[in-house]
Amino acid sequence: MTNKTVLVTGGYGYIGSHAIKALAEAGLTVDSMDCRQSPNDIKKYIRQDRMRDIAKSDLYEYWGSYDYVIHLAGLISVEESVKYPWLYFKNNILGTKNIIDKIETDNIIFASTAAAFNPNSPYATSKIAGEQLIKATKKNYTIFRFFNVAGNNGEFRQIGQSTHLIRIAAETAAGKRQFMTVNGTDWNTRDGTCVRDYVHVMDLVDCIVKAVEVPANTDYECIGSGIGYTVNEVIDVMKDVSGKNFKVVESNRRSGDTAEVLIPEQKSKYFYGNRTLEQMCLSAYKMELK
């Protein structure tokens, strides 16, 4: 992949920063596009730092040409999308349209979501619309429906407001929260809490690197292990790896949630899943200790 160019949108984000490092180490020339910087210092891995809000565009702007575009930028909170649906439609749909219109590329990789299988929120429907835009306009593409992503490479971290279970549990174990809340204990699951499929961010990044040279051109690729863990089971693992018996409080369900989100069919050909839930929790905990 030497001398090939790739643009990563959302480069300062959690997945974006991990992807940029892996792509640079694979021999690609990498540019980042994001609307703001973060504590994730990606500068030593990129050629160009392009500060831009993808949801804002002049009609005649041209954003350049790349061998590959990895489109990771977007808003990701189910709960927030229920409160501010237009914000999610604007960022996740219009932002994707601008990437398609303003950048010349023969291959685009798009970060979608497992929530698209149960589109109960504006977040999920905005990602489905993004998928459809790409399939209608691009010859070569890979659409990844990511399940719950966690863990880190020891260098980069999740940023912004904490919304993901493993990060919140790690913060609580590290003493940054007095307690954590379980939203809903009356779901039709084995212990009454929601079931989710968790993916280590480095396993996910491995899939992105593989898809750069070999686009899938399928409806979507499921990046999940096929193994479901309840919220209570994840909390138990975090308590075990951290050695901290932190406080957990039960509360009501959140709007937009569903009882179970598991890979509905065969996992992607790109996915090998070499890392465990214990590794995800431990790396998240160690990062919070930093």
What is the pLDDT, as a whole number, of residue 212? 96
What is the pLDDT, as a whole number, of residue 123? 94
Q: Which fold has domain 5-289?
A: Rossmann fold (3.40.50)
Q: Are 45 and 21 in contact (CB under 8 A)?
A: yes
| Close Cβ partners of 216 (under 8 Å, ≥ 6 residues apart) | 141, 142, 143, 268, 269, 270
What is the pLDDT, as a whole number, of residue 1? 64
Q: What phi, psi does 187 have (nearest 5°)?
A: -75, 160
Residues of the chain with pLDDT under 50: none
pLDDT digits (tens, 9 = 90+) for 40-59: 999 999 999 999 999 998 87
The two tokens of residue 213 are 């040279």
The beta-carbon contacts of 51-59 under 8 Å, at least 24 apart in sequence, are: 54/9, 54/91, 54/95, 54/96, 54/98, 54/99, 55/90, 55/91, 55/94, 55/95, 55/98, 57/98, 57/101, 57/102
List the beta strands (DSSP E) in the chain. 5-9, 29-34, 48-51, 64-66, 68-71, 103-105, 108-113, 141-146, 148-150, 180-183, 195-200, 221-223, 228-230, 248-251, 260-261
What is the pLDDT, as a whole number, of residue 2? 66
| Close Cβ partners of 228 (under 8 Å, ≥ 6 residues apart) | 195, 196, 197, 260, 262
pLDDT digits (tens, 9 = 90+) for 18-37: 999 999 999 999 999 999 99
Task: Find the angle CA(220)-CA(132)-CA(70) to the nearest 5 degrees.
Answer: 65
Question: Domain locations in the chain?
Answer: 5-289
The two tokens of residue 40 are 């994730």
